[in-house]
A and B are shown apart, each in its own frame.
Chain A
Amino acid sequence: EAQVTQNPRYLITVTGKKLTVTCSQNMNHEYMSWYRQDPGLGLRQIYYSMNVEVTDKGDVPEGYKVSRKEKRNFPLILESPSPNQTSLYFCASSLSPGVWAFFGQGTRLTVV
C-alpha cells in the first residue's frame, strides 16, 4: 500500500532537548516536504526536498533541519526545540513538484 509514514505520532518533550521526527515513503517519490499546521494559520511549509541530497527552505525553516540521504526517508530535526514549535507536523511526498498527493498521518509535538 502506497503510504507516507511518520513517527512518532505524539511527542511531548522539554525545551532544548534535540529530537527527530522520521518520515518514510514507499512510492519512490523524488519530492518530499515537511509542513506544520497551527490553528488559524493553515499549513506552512518548513523544508522540502527535490531529490537525495537536495533540500531547500520553505516558509518557516527557522529552528528546523532536514536531511535526505536516501530517497525514501526525510527526517525533520529540531536541534533545540522551543515551546513555539509546539504544533502538528505533516510530511508529504510527491511524484512531481507542486502536487503533494500523499501525506503522513501527522505528528503532534508539544514542547514544554
Chain B
Amino acid sequence: SQQGEEDPQALSIQEGENATMNCSYKTSINNLQWYRQNSGRGLVHLILIRSNEREKHSGRLRVTLDTSKKSSSLLITASRAADTASYFCAGDNYGQNFVFGPGTRLSVLP
C-alpha cells in the first residue's frame, strides 16, 4: 500500500481568498483523487486526475499532478465558508489498494 500525505495539516483563510493544499505520495499511481469531509461525516469525491494528466479543473477547483515529484495540489479559488472541511488525497496503484493521507483541515472565515 502507499501512504498519501497532505500539507499543510491545517489552513485558515478569509472568505474570497484562494486555498492551496498539497499532497505527496510514495509510489507509482494510476490516478489520484481528492475528497472533502465535513466534520466526521462521509467523504465527498471532488475530482480525479489520471497519471497521464497534469492539470484538471472542476468549477472552483483546480488540481495539478506532478508524477516526477510524486505530488499533487488542490486549489480552491474564491473560497466560501461552506468550503470549511477536511480535504484528503488518495492514490490508486492499479488496483484496489487506496490509501488516504491524514488530510488538511481548511477553515474559511467570514
Contact = CB atoms under 8 A, between A and B. Distances in A.
Contacts of B96: 31, 33, 45, 48, 50, 56, 58, 97-98
A19 B96 CA distance: 26
B12 interface: no
Given A42-B4, A98-B30, A98-B94, A106 B99 contact: no
Interface of A: 4, 31, 33, 35, 40-45, 48, 50, 56, 58-59, 88, 90, 92, 97-106, 108
Contacts of B31: 98-99
Nearest to A56: B96
B102 A42 contact: yes
Nearest to A45: B98
B90 interface: yes
Contacts of B97: 45, 58-59
B33 to A, nearest CB: 7
A105 B42 contact: yes
Interface residues of B, number: 26
Given A45-B97, A45-B98, A58-B97, A90 B103 contact: no
A40 B102 contact: yes
B88 A42 contact: yes
Given A97-B96, A98-B95, A99-B48, A42 B101 contact: yes
A79 B45 CA distance: 31
Contact of A90 (B43, B48, B93, B102): B43
A43 B1 contact: no
Contact of B99 (A42, A97, A108): A42
B41 interface: yes
Contacts of A100: 33, 43, 45, 90, 98
Contacts of B93: 98
B1 A99 contact: no
A99 B97 CA distance: 10
Given A42-B88, A42-B101, A98-B30, A59 B94 contact: no
